[in-house]
Amino acid sequence: MDFRVISIGSLSSHELWQEQVEPRTAHATTTLVRSGDRVILVDPGLPAEVVIARLAERAGLAAGAVTDVFLTNFRPVHRRGLSAFEHANWLTSEMERESIGCQLVEAHRQQEDAEIKGMLEQEIAMLKRFKAAPDRLADQVDLFPLSGFTPGTCGLLLSHLNATTLIAGDAVATSEHLEQGRVLRGAADAAQARESLSEAIEIADVIVPGHDNMLLNPTRRSW
């Protein structure tokens, strides 16, 4: 099993940098995980053509080599590049799929504006493409629930010989959020998000945040 960051994400406005405007377009960190015959792309947050180029640059792979796309949550900044991987299995946690599905259906039921209703229908159709991810996606690659930012936020725990790596999604947003023990603004359940952040720090030696480059856990000794 091996992994690498394909694209480093960013926040549109980094609240811990005291930014008052949105100087960037937000996108999630995209990670590639390979284990056995599975080639798993996590959170393709950039547009399809950009993700395809980054995949070739960082891993020498074409889009067709990806067998599975996994979303740590269903927010749009985690899935802009999905259209490049129509052939792959689309996966997210069962809790995320069900909770977001309920929200979308209710919003559609209450919406009267035809244009917005149509957009919601597109979102529902996309979500239907997603399957509930199994507890183990591949050898040494397991689901790790991190609910709080969204109801079903879920990371991937990668088991190495002497260490663990956690692809944390928005449960650990950036290096500053990790260092300061802060959860990302806008969490659906801030208390639960703080618990998930604590669990991420407890379990992982290396953390891949939702919107930053991979980090060594500052509570671990150097290795």
From CA 197, how far away is CA 1, in angstroms rounded?
Answer: 25
Per-residue pLDDT reduced to its tens digit, 163-196: 999 999 999 999 999 999 999 999 999 999 999 9
What is the set of domains in the chain, with CATH numbers?
Answer: 2-216 (3.60.15.10)
Residue 154 has a CB neighbour count (10 Å cut-off) of 26
From CA 12, how far away is CA 25, in angstroms rounded?
Answer: 5
Instruction: State residue 221's pLDDT score.
Output: 56
Instruction: State residue 107's pLDDT score.
Output: 86
Confidence class of residue 211 from pLDDT cuts 50, 70 and 90?
very high
Per-residue pLDDT reduced to its tens digit, 25-78: 899 999 999 999 999 999 999 999 999 999 999 999 999 999 999 999 999 999
Mean pLDDT over residues 140-150, rounded? 97
Instruction: State residue 219's pLDDT score.
Output: 85
Confidence class of residue 220 from pLDDT cuts 50, 70 and 90?
confident
pTM of the prediction?
A: 0.94
Per-residue pLDDT reduced to its tens digit, 94-120: 999 999 999 989 989 898 889 998 999
Instruction: State residue 25's pLDDT score.
Output: 86
Instruction: State residue 222's pLDDT score.
Output: 55
Backbone angles phi, psi at 39, to 5 degrees: -120, 105
Mean pLDDT over residues 19-29, rounded? 82
Average pLDDT value for the chain: 94
